[in-house]
Amino acid sequence: MRPSTNPAGPGRPQRLADTYRELFRAEPLLVRSPGRVNLIGEHTDYNEGFVLPAAVDKAIYFAVGPRPGSKVALHAADLEQSHEFDLAGLAPSDKRWPNYLIGVVDQLRKGGHPIGGFACVYGGDIPIGSGMSSSAAIEAGLAFSLNRIFGLGLDPLALVKLAQKAENEFVGVRCGIMDMFINIFGRPKSVLKLDCRSLDYQYFPFERADLRIVLCDTQVKRELASSEYNVRRGQCEAGVKLLSKYDPALRSLRDVSRELLEAHRAEFDPVIFRRCDYVVRENRRVEDACADLKSGDFAAFGRRMNGSHDGLRDDYEVSCRELDVLVDAAQAVPGVLGARMMGAGFGGCTINLVEEKAVGTLEESAARAFRAAFGQEPKFYISSLKSGTEVLSP
Ligand code: GLA
């Protein structure tokens, strides 16, 4: 069986620090910026609803330090590529990877925060396109690091918002706030329930010795993910517009009840109706899932994850065959409490809540089904829940 462990090992941040020392002849600040999982609450964040993510062991690491002058030197260790630019002339790069970092610098400059030249070596083990938010880890991790090295005094929530704006404006994906929020606010062994309107949050311990969070990675990444993402946002907005005729106080799908939606069903384009119906139900599922956690009922929690997948596949239509095959195979394994696609969709990972003794069977069945359907191997990662972005040294 394939190993389910983290292949990077603890040596990676030290290797990045060594590369920094070799390239820039100085001692860096070393920062760890985690990926995330989301237990339930998908496509609800930009509808001002609820999400339940957690920061995980897979991470991007930064070795960063100031440099005299106004030049910025970036080095992507995993790609073995470098990029340099001057703070005076920020422009998107054709190489694409620098844009996640330049976007952060752009936001700091626009906010009038005094940063100078700097050098940055980064790399990590969050699989790109896996739906574990490597982009948020890069953006929020750099914002956190620059805040430190230039003593900008930005509070954690300001870093979250700045990183989100960098993605919205420079990368061009209208992502919600979930990924950056959990990146900064994650806590070990806990999931975080976030109210994406008020930004109130609450931690729930999420640990039981006999349960594991297993991710199955389709390794499919489709460009559709970002174009369809923006389409879904537009469809949600269309639903809000229609319903706000009846309730002018209504601002987002967060404010919509199933009763209101049903009462006006006939006025909806059927596709828009299904999109809105999914979001309204998913918000409810997050609340119910948190009640399950309070009462320690992980079996009920898992069933809500299954319900979430049904809605994402049939009504929100952001799943794909690869994800569905993995979810179907997982849900058929005794000891798998819940399985669903995770993140924006159209590829990436499924998330599975699994009894430890069933992990091997899950991996075997999911791999068998995936091989039969696509002639390829999925990957598996067992996630442990870790803290949000933090300084490793000095
Ligand atoms: C992506 C976005 C998040 C969120 C999820 C779907 O990860 O970055 O803001 O919308 O998709 O839940």
How confident is residue 173, by pLDDT bands cut at 50, 70 and 90? confident
pLDDT, one tens digit per residue, over 347-374 is 999 999 999 999 999 999 999 999 999 9
- 198 in the same domain as 139: yes
Kind of pairing between the strands at 118-124 and 71-76: parallel
> What does the pLDDT average to over 3-30?
80
C-alpha closest to that of 212 among 338, 42, 328: 338
Which atom of ligand 1 is found nearest the CA of 133?
Answer: 7
- 17 in the same domain as 107: yes
* 158 contacts: CB under 8 Å, gap ≥ 6: none
Structural domain total, the chain: 2
- 297 in the same domain as 157: no
Question: What mean pLDDT is reported for the chain?
Answer: 95
- 302 in the same domain as 273: yes
179 classed as catalytic: yes
Write the CATH number for 245. Answer: 3.30.70.890
CB 338 within 8 A of CB 312: no
- 124 in the same domain as 220: no
Of the residues 182, 207, 232, which one is the last residue of a structural domain? 207
Write the CATH number for 160. Answer: 3.30.230.10
C-alpha closest to that of 235 among 43, 8, 2: 43
- 224 in the same domain as 129: no
Does residue 10 register a pLDDT over 90?
A: no
Encoded tokens for 217 = 């990675």
pLDDT, one tens digit per residue, over 277-293 is 999 999 999 999 999 99
- 25 in the same domain as 142: yes
Of the residues 172, 207, 242, which one is the last residue of a structural domain? 207
Does residue 2 register a pLDDT over 70?
A: no
How confident is residue 222, by pLDDT bands cut at 50, 70 and 90? confident
C-alpha closest to that of 285 among 259, 299, 271, 306: 306
- 133 in the same domain as 65: yes
Range of the structural domain that residue 302 is part of = 211-383
pLDDT, one tens digit per residue, over 147-162 is 999 999 999 999 999 9
Active-site residue, selected from the candidate residues 57, 125, 179, 217: 179
Q: Where are the alpha helices (DSSP H) in the chain?
A: 11-24, 97-110, 134-149, 156-166, 178-185, 224-244, 258-263, 270-294, 298-314, 321-331, 359-374
Which atom of ligand 1 is found nearest the CA of 46?
Answer: 10
CB 46 near ligand 1, within 6 Å: yes
Do the domain assignments include residue 390?
no
Residue nearest to atom 8 of ligand 1 (CA): 175
- 217 in the same domain as 142: no
CB 118 within 8 A of CB 72: yes
- 153 in the same domain as 103: yes
pTM over 0.85: yes
